[in-house]
Structure 1
Amino acid sequence: MTDPARPSPDTLLLEAQREGRGRLKVFLGASPGVGKTYDMLRAAQAAKASGVDVVVGIVETHGRRETQALLDGLEVLPRRTLDYRGRTLGELDTDALIARKPKLALIDELAHSNVPGSRHVKRWQDVEDVLAAGIDVLATLNVQHLESLNDVVLRITGVRVRETLPDTVLERADEIELVDLPPEELLRRLDEGKVYLGEQAQRAREGFFSRGNLTALRELAMRAAAERIDQQMLAYRQRHAVSEPWPARERLLVCVGGKAIDRSLIRNAARLADTRGIAWIAVHVIDSRAHRLPNEAKDRIAETLRMAEALGGEAVTIPGENVAAEVLGYARSRNVTQIVVGQSNPVRAGWRRRRSLAHALLRSGAPFDITVVPTRNDACDASNTRDPIAAERWRWQDHITGLALVTLATLVGLFVDRWIGLENLALLYLVAVLVSAVRAGPLPAIVTSVVAACSLDFFFTEPRYTLNLQRHEDVLTLAVFLIVAVLMGRLGGQLRSQMQALRKTARRNANLSDFARRVAGALGRDEVARIIAEHVQATLDLPCVAVIERPAEALRPAARRGIGPDYQFRETDRAAAHWCWDHRQPAGYSTQTLPTSQWLFVPMATAQRVVGLLGLHLHERRRPPSAGQRRLLDALADQAAVALERVMLSAEIGDQRVNSQGEELRAALLSSVSHDLRTPLASILGAATSLQTQNERLSADDRSALLDTIVEESERLNRFVQNLLDMTRLGYGRIEARREWCDLREIAGRARNRLRRELSGRDVPIDSAGDLPLAWCDPLLLEQALVNVIDNAAKYSPAGSPIEIALGTQSQWLLLRVRDHGPGVPAADREKIFDMFHRVQSQDHTAPGTGLGLAICRGLLAAQDGQVRALAPAEGRGAVIEMRLPRKTPPQVRDD
């Protein structure tokens, strides 16, 4: 527990972090027109009059003359101009302001959204940079721009405020000045044109600036300022180690244990807080022995804390061993003024009353109003009134272990008695007591300490083998031994409980870490759901399901553990899941919504949406989850929600990428196919029409030319259709190479002959180096690939220029190279030209076509374990397309 007489380390650390930063003062108002900018300028004029270096970073006067007049005499920093949608707009020049580095800067409209192209999206982010540079800032803000109040303002005014800022910006402000104006005065200013002008003022009068809206916004502004001032007061008290509560704002604290009377105690505290209109907190102190509480007590604590939250209070669980000290320390840290505590047996005297929490708080002399709420014995049964924290479980095995340890210490003592004294023998028994405390707990350790004292007296003090004592020093030794043994027993028992609690916490943290690691590596929603179900079932030992689809007519979990695949959910179960998904709140067993369901459903939700449900089957256990289990369940649900949303976003991005690629492919296909189909069809149609309508007028040479055109364009169209078919077959993996031993010279010759019309007027030599080995390939596929390459070279080279075909070998490859004398392929496009629909663009030449030829060529070569690539020519212009096939040795032919 933190010493109340010492300053809070967190507060001191926060103060140290603020060293070197500028101070931020915010002028907070309920709505536009209350005079925030006016008061800010008046404060700036006063600061300048006292010798402070003041610079106006940016101030919006909105045409108000009295506000504009206050700018006289102040240095105004030129704005940074940005072009946006054809307009020139001015924004805060943050760099110039930091370079100027005045003592005080004025920055209006803290929640303003900057013009696109600025360094930051929001102006408050610019203010953060200015503060970090050590410059004090005066800024203005309307309460409706706070992010946490966005929905509240929408319900009040019917207007969704688009420009918002995080509440933490206001929380980090060093000073807040509330600029308040009664609604009547503000409406009068609006009518006088001091807020808006012309039609804008009339629209505001009819909509946002109604008397009811302004009154509600005024209350919100006052509350925001009051909460910030309360936080500043708490920080001051912590910084200066003020232990006495300051009743500037009343706050009530109620202590919650594991008794049945706590529910009535919570009701009393809620009534007190509601009557006085103050905030209240329900606090439960959990010590190292809490894990040994009976399930009934754990359930009562969880139900009581949930009840406190339902009644409008704040539920808090804090660790500690001394309940009274922890409650008082927490009350000081929260500036609590009144503590409410229950007392089940107010008339009972004796040691049990002196040990009660109420008595400890009253005896502490703390400066709090302590209210003790008595409860009669008939309000609950004996099992409920018994203090579960003080109760210890009797196990005879633990006491036998303690007796065995004392016996062992006695035997060792009898053996070494002749060499060591009584004081040293007592240490042997202390070891036995300590071991018993660590292994069994405080109660067996106390019993062990009493038995050890008797054994020490009986076996090792004079007269021996009796319980009589003759020497006074032996009495003192035994008395000290007994006191030390009892203290060691209690401390050892506490140590054991703390070790068990730490092991449980470490095991839970390790499970959470393992869970986070597994879900982070999951690739699909079903895999995430399976991991969630497995982990929850293993951690809580309860049947569970993970639902990732919104429940409709039936509940279909994506993963289930602890229940069979034939398990049938009841209608109430489905309704609870449906309500949980729609309302983002737990539903089902142990909740206020559909509690007759056998399942408890918890939403796995992010800020944007619900991504799934986590269901626990609690009906057979017949008790709700404890507070610790609920916190663990909420943590698991949050982590699972993040993992599910990550997987869903990845899938959505993948779908969008596929759709985008499909749209690009469709557009390219339509664009290319329209040209490659329309051009030959138009030529064929024109030639056929001429033959049909003007056949008698045409000469024999003209008719022959038209027929040649029809044949040529038909072959061109046939090649294009064949390319499309080949591309489809390649896409579906249906091209199978039928290999045989082939002569590359013969294949090159056939390919050249198929393109004789396209190659008319060109010199196309075939150069083969020496004795060229046979190729193990599919001759038809290789010929088609070579035709595509030669046709591509003809398209991209000047008419009449030669195209060279070279055949050769290189290491383990057979080479076919086609070189043209065109502009060549840029280095950046040498790999892209083998993609579908890619065509090299140049300033002076763009060949028509789909760009399928080389893509098909790569597919045809790949089907034969070959490769194709584009090379730069060794000299001169042009491009070189090289096709390579694996070189294999032909089988030997025997002469019979």
Structure 2
Amino acid sequence: MSLIHPIEERSVSDSRRGRLTLYFGAAPGVGKTYAMLEAAQRLRRQGVDVVVGAVDTHGRPEVAELLVGLERLPPRTVEVRGKLIEEFHLDAALVRRPSLVIVDDLGHVNAAGSRHSQRWHDVVDLLAAGVDVMTTLCVQQLESQHDVVQQITSMRVRDPVPDAMFERADHVEFIDPPAKEVLARLQDGKVYIPEQDARAAAAMYRKNSLLALRELALRRMSQRAGRENLIYRSAPRLGAGPTSERILVCVDPSPLGPRLIRAAFRMATGLRAEWLALYVETPRLALAGESVRAQVGETLRLAEQLGAEVVHISGARIDREILGFARARGATRLIIGKPMQHRWRDLLRGSLVDALVRGSGDLDVHVIAGDVAPHEVSPVPALRSPLRIAAYFWAALTVAGIAATRLVHLPLFYVIVLLLVGISLVGSRLGRGPALGAALLSILAVETSLRLDPDVNHIDDLQRAAIYLGMLLLALWVSGLTELSRRQAEAARIDERRLTALYLLSRELSQLRSEVDIAECAIRHVKKTMSARTVILLPGHDGELAPVAGTDVELTTDAREEGVARWAFEHGPAGRGTETLKAAQALYLPLTAAGRTIGVLGVAPDDPDKLASPAERQLLDAMTGPVALALQRVRLAEEAQIAEVRAREEELRGSLLSSVSHDLRTPLASITGAASAMMDSGDAIAPETRRDLLQTIYEEAERLGRLVGNLLDMTRLEAGAVALRTDWVSLEDPIGSALSRLDRRLAGREVQVTLPPELPLLPLDEVLFEQLILNLLENACKHTPAGSPVRVVARVQAGRVVIEVADRGPGLPAGEEETIFEKFVRGSKANTQGFGLGLAICRAIAAAHGGEITAENRAGGGAVFRISLPIGAPPPEPGPDTSLASMSGPQGVLHNTAKILLHQASGLEAETTT
């Protein structure tokens, strides 16, 4: 087949959806990749920006030769079980954004750890980004062909491609070489077969298997072409006829229905055509009895079992509804039953067969006879209203009142007019029976008046017959119109009730966000509509169905009912009202959304005959749709949240690995180098050099310990694994301990510590808060020039204790006052050693104590980090055993400032306001 150019001129806006071109074939080895690369080379020569994203040559030189001259994206290397695997680099393609990307093998399964599990997900992302894609696909990779291909080849496709990808393709190029050529290519070693699939491939590459796969592929292409033709035929300007058959069988409530269904099935099977079963419910049929609904329900269930698409519509004119539906769905053949009613009924009401034949146009009409005798067929039982004595009484009273006007010598002409008006009123108000009774009484009244009054004998017999016939026809006509309008109103009321139920259900479901609430809402509406016990079962983590709380869970306490529900979940409707496991108490319907079964709805109505009604079944089926979509929405929201968490974890893991690769390697390299130098030099090394090397090892090991400690602290804080061990602590303690631990780092700096005596004791975890102060001081040393001063100030402000750590460094970049507290954010103006976790740990520790930490630039240069902590309730009075570390007063102050004084004695200046 010739290639149709799939690339159009790119619009100015890149927001358009990319175009998908599929190279489709019956089996691997038919030449899909070769044809795709040939087309790519032609497009490249025409100036199209073509990039190869993923093509595996499998050592075939003819494929490798076609890749010459095409730009190739660098693959993404993934390690799986100790082996390096090259995968399609989706991110690189999205950054490059060429006009066309070549991505071979749409059904390819990506390696573990990839963004998507299958390659077709990557293609969807490319198309959404406005990038055109060329790819290949085999028929056995389609999800709809999974079972059929398994029967042909005994090969199971574990991860098929959804048929939606095939349908959304803008162009499908069918590669169809003869089976002999494919087998010859196989013998020449030009078909790649993985070792683990060699046995399955042996069953595939037989001539009969290849022919069967080719037939499946051709049928799939034919279905696609038929749908495209149907779309074009719907346009008024196009008159192309259909190229495939579509059969429509019309069902009515009669014993002839099953035979019509079986005949349509045989015809559809012979023609390999799609077929539909249509039931038109007129206002008269909508009010029919239970036997009529049961007969229709049985016929439609048979059609479902045989694979038909069942459609149930309403309308006043059966012929118009059938013909309109047939043209809308592109039917080519219409099957109806031979009429079994008496000829006089056709004369009075019209013949449905004649109406369909006259209005069919190019639609073929097949009239099929039934297996039963005409006298045994009763298509629709007569709808008889109960005898109402009051109605007949009021009809007689009306006629009597009008006839009494003759007593006041009202002319007979006016009396006849009044009688006609009375008949019309009775027919419009009381129905057909009272109207006919009123007409007969009116005839009797007129006849009596004519016989008793000689003055009106001038009315001859023909005129009298016309008057009497007019009265009877008027009674029949008015009462018939009244009955029809009542039936239409009743049918409209029933339809309105169904639509209202669906509307209320959909509106309420759209506002719910949990599975339990959705299930309770669905149960409430189903009970209100059908007066039934209802249960919703959803699969758990172990795959077992379990009833949702709030539903009629006792309905599935029986193991047999659970088995029916499981069958419905896996295969389709089952239970009461169906031909599958119909001994069950309830009808079980799968809740399906987007081709995925979410759960099962079980309904056990108080009146089991309701399940036989097509209208009730249709309403119930319609209600399962919104419920399934609502449940799927909740599931997708949960999956999206999980996916977002995983994405953040991946981002965190990537940042961590990036930091680890540099920041851990540097101190380890220094330690290794110093230790290696000492080992190589032995005793020949000078004492001063040995001391310097040992000092390097010590400092780098200390630095490595701080880096690992920050990682562990951040992990524990984020996981909530750190429990605060609070005690009443004076700020002199953690600040003094932090200064002591940083003696070496703070050497040569002026450190000012201002702690006023009115500072209260605070409920702190002393170890964690010391780490907070330590990180801030270390941050000041890291990002400020050597010898610059550092200031630590604490004060009471607005019911809170505020601690400031200020420096005279380069300050903070504008707009990054909040960003610096995020994980893995490191300074950009000074030394950037470390993971960028120190300030993130500070914020986590401050938040754990109910406080907060902020940063801003100082006037005159530098930065200040401000910690704000709540004071809380006053501490209890100290007892006789209270240690100096927790005492107030002069003794407590002296003890708590000991470490600061020690720091001052080591050569650093410290200012303590006491």
Instruction: Name the amino acid aligned to 1:512.
Output: L
Q: For 1:795, which of 778, 793, 799 is the aligned residue?
A: 778
Paired with 2:313 and 2:547, the residues of 1 have a C-alpha distance of 37
Q: Which residue of 1 aligns with 2:515?
A: 525
Q: For 1:218, which of 214, 224, 227 is the aligned residue?
A: 214
Paired with 1:29 and 1:217, the residues of 2 have a C-alpha distance of 9
Q: For 2:251, which of 242, 256, 262 is the aligned residue?
A: 256
Q: For 1:501, which of 491, 494, 498 is the aligned residue?
A: 491
Paired with 2:150 and 2:465, the residues of 1 have a C-alpha distance of 80
Change (3 A) 1:728 1:778: farther
Q: Which residue of 1 aligns with 2:890?
A: none
Q: Which residue of 2 aligns with 1:642?
A: 629
Q: Which residue of 2 aligns with 1:579?
A: 567
Change (3 A) 1:339 1:166: same
Instruction: Name the amino acid aligned to 1:214.
Output: L
Range moving further from structure 2, 176-185 or 640-649:
176-185
Contact 2:28 2:191 in 1 (8 A): no
Identity percentage of aligned residues: 25
Which secondary structure does the structure 2 equivalent of 1:545 belong to? strand
Q: Over residues 538-578 of structure 1, what are the superposed CA-to-partner deviations in whole Å (9 max), with x where a residue is unaligned?
A: 222211111123699997522455x5x66673332122123
Q: For 1:624, which of 611, 615, 625 is the aligned residue?
A: 611
Paired with 2:131 and 2:868, the residues of 1 have a C-alpha distance of 63
Change (3 A) 1:35 1:247: same
Paired with 2:750 and 2:715, the residues of 1 have a C-alpha distance of 31
Shift of 1:795: 1.8
Say if 2:871 is the partner of 1:879: no
Paired with 1:591 and 1:822, the residues of 2 have a C-alpha distance of 81
Instruction: Name the amino acid aligned to 1:394.
Output: P
Trace 1:254-403 onto structure 2 (pairs within 5 A). 254-270=249-265, 280-327=275-322, 330=325, 334-337=330-333, 339-344=335-340, 350-351=344-345, 360=354, 364=358, 368=364, 370-376=366-372, 385-388=377-380, 390-394=382-386, 396=388, 399=391, 403=395
Q: Over residues 765-820 of structure 1, what are the superposed CA-to-partner deviations in whole Å (9 max), with x where a residue is unaligned?
A: 4569xxx9967x54454998986665344323347643334456767776543323
Q: Which residue of 2 aligns with 1:854?
A: 842
Instruction: Name the amino acid aligned to 1:393.
Output: S
Shift of 1:307: 0.6
Paired with 1:423 and 1:652, the residues of 2 have a C-alpha distance of 79
Q: Which residue of 1 aligns with 2:536?
A: 546
Shift of 1:645: 2.9
Shift of 1:143: 5.7
Shift of 1:462: 8.9
Instruction: Name the amino acid aligned to 2:293.
Output: K
Trace 1:409-428 onto structure 2 (pairs within 5 A). none
Change (3 A) 1:542 1:792: same
Paired with 2:735 and 2:177, the residues of 1 have a C-alpha distance of 92
Q: For 2:75, which of 78, 84, 103 is the aligned residue?
A: 84
Give the TM-score taking structure 2 as reference length.
Answer: 0.62
Shift of 1:212: 1.0
Range moving further from structure 2, 155-164 or 458-467:
458-467
Q: For 1:516, which of 502, 506, 512 is the aligned residue?
A: 506
Contact 2:337 2:369 in 1 (8 A): yes
Contact 1:825 1:879 in 2 (8 A): no
Which secondary structure does the structure 1 equivalent of 2:547 belong to? coil
Structure 2: stretches of 5+ with no match in the other structure: 1-18, 40-44, 78-85, 672-697, 875-914
Q: For 1:536, which of 526, 531, 556 is the aligned residue?
A: 526
Shift of 1:600: 1.7
Shift of 1:113: 9.6
Instruction: Name the amino acid aligned to 2:778.
Output: K
Instruction: Name the amino acid aligned to 1:84.
Output: P
Paired with 1:138 and 1:845, the residues of 2 have a C-alpha distance of 45
Contact 1:589 1:595 in 2 (8 A): yes
Q: Over residues 649-683 of structure 1, what are the superposed CA-to-partner deviations in whole Å (9 max), with x where a residue is unaligned?
A: 43345456668889969999999xx99xx99xx9x
Instruction: Name the amino acid aligned to 1:530.
Output: E
Paired with 1:138 and 1:885, the residues of 2 have a C-alpha distance of 63
Report the RMSD for the aligned CA atoms in angstroms.
7.0
Paired with 2:852 and 2:726, the residues of 1 have a C-alpha distance of 16
Structure 1: stretches of 5+ with no match in the other structure: 1-22, 44-52, 99-106, 132-136, 683-708, 740-746, 890-896
Shift of 1:602: 1.5
Q: Over residues 592-636 of structure 1, what are the superposed CA-to-partner deviations in whole Å (9 max), with x where a residue is unaligned?
A: 332222122112234575432111125862563422332332333
Change (3 A) 1:421 1:585: same
Trace 1:192-203 onto structure 2 (pairs within 5 A). none
Contact 2:106 2:135 in 1 (8 A): no
Contact 1:406 1:432 in 2 (8 A): no
Paired with 2:379 and 2:563, the residues of 1 have a C-alpha distance of 39
Instruction: Name the amino acid aligned to 2:388.
Output: W
Paired with 1:97 and 1:818, the residues of 2 have a C-alpha distance of 55
Instruction: Name the amino acid aligned to 2:514.
Output: G
Paired with 2:300 and 2:274, the residues of 1 have a C-alpha distance of 16
Paired with 1:214 and 1:566, the residues of 2 have a C-alpha distance of 52
Say if 2:589 is the partner of 1:602: yes
Contact 1:354 1:360 in 2 (8 A): no
Paired with 1:222 and 1:65, the residues of 2 have a C-alpha distance of 30
Q: For 2:179, which of 173, 177, 183 is the aligned residue?
A: 183
Shift of 1:292: 1.1
Which secondary structure does the structure 1 equivalent of 2:525 belong to? helix
Give the TM-score taking structure 1 as reference length.
Answer: 0.63
Paired with 1:216 and 1:252, the residues of 2 have a C-alpha distance of 25
Change (3 A) 1:873 1:342: same
Q: Over residues 310-362 of structure 1, what are the superposed CA-to-partner deviations in whole Å (9 max), with x where a residue is unaligned?
A: 234443334332334544555566454463414456xx564478758676469
Q: Over residues 257-286 of structure 1, what are the superposed CA-to-partner deviations in whole Å (9 max), with x where a residue is unaligned?
A: 112343344345545665777665433221
Say if 2:814 is the partner of 1:818: no
Instruction: Name the amino acid aligned to 1:494.
Output: L
Shift of 1:524: 2.5
Contact 2:338 2:368 in 1 (8 A): yes
Instruction: Name the amino acid aligned to 2:565.
Output: A
Which secondary structure does the structure 1 equivalent of 2:557 belong to? coil
Q: Over residues 84-132 of structure 1, what are the superposed CA-to-partner deviations in whole Å (9 max), with x where a residue is unaligned?
A: 349999999x99989xxxxxxxx9999799999999965999899999x
Which secondary structure does the structure 2 equivalent of 1:648 belong to? helix
Change (3 A) 1:39 1:365: same
Paired with 2:529 and 2:296, the residues of 1 have a C-alpha distance of 21
Contact 1:446 1:490 in 2 (8 A): no
Contact 2:538 2:548 in 1 (8 A): yes
Paired with 1:151 and 1:223, the residues of 2 have a C-alpha distance of 16
Trace 1:658-737 onto structure 2 (pairs within 5 A). none
Which secondary structure does the structure 1 equivalent of 2:587 belong to? strand
Trace 1:435-514 onto structure 2 (pairs within 5 A). 436=429, 444=431, 447-448=434-435, 451=438, 486-514=476-504
Change (3 A) 1:465 1:227: farther
Change (3 A) 1:835 1:191: closer
Contact 1:589 1:619 in 2 (8 A): no
